[in-house]
């Protein structure tokens, strides 16, 4: 799970630099900057509201695009099983997905990103 709350606490309460926050949390400096930029865009500060747990915070900052209307959602459970076979990479399931769904499909890079999020 992401360490968003810890990043926000270290930024607003401890007032550490992005570099020191990255070292303390084990995240990259770019990830720290990304979390903080998203939090500021959503008007979040410190302390966070009590009802905002890590999962709710992640949902607030990282809105899911997979469920957008118009795109066919791949069966990632089946794809995950296919990838266990020798010699199968994400290219083959993506091509099968493209053939089956036509124009309503994700590009290869977005397909891979959604699969990584699933796995």
The per-residue pLDDT for 68 is 53
Q: Which range scores top for mean pLDDT: 53-57, 61-65, 66-70, 108-112?
A: 108-112
Contacts (Cβ under 8 Å, ≥6 apart) of 7 = 21, 25, 27, 32, 35, 36
Q: Rounded mean pLDDT of 31-47?
A: 89
Select the more confidently predicted residue: 43 or 66.
43
The per-residue pLDDT for 95 is 92
Q: Which of 54, 36, 53 is nearest to 45 (CA)?
A: 36
Which tens digit of pLDDT belongs to each residue from 78-114?
Answer: 899 989 999 999 999 999 989 888 888 999 999 999 9
Q: Rounded mean pLDDT of 37-65?
A: 83
The per-residue pLDDT for 48 is 87
């Amino acid at each position: 799970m992401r360490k968003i709350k810890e990043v926000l606490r270290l930024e607003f309460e401890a007032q550490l630099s992005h570099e020191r926050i990255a070292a303390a949390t084990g995240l990259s400096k770019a990830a720290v900057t990304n979390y903080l930029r998203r939090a500021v865009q959503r008007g979040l500060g410190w302390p966070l509201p009590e009802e905002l747990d890590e999962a709710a915070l992640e949902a607030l900052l990282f809105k899911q695009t997979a469920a957008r209307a118009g795109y066919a959602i791949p069966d990632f459970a089946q794809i995950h099983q296919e990838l266990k076979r020798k010699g199968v990479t994400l290219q083959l399931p993506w091509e099968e997905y493209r053939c089956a769904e036509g124009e309503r499909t994700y590009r290869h890079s977005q397909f891979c990103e959604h699969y990584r999020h699933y796995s």
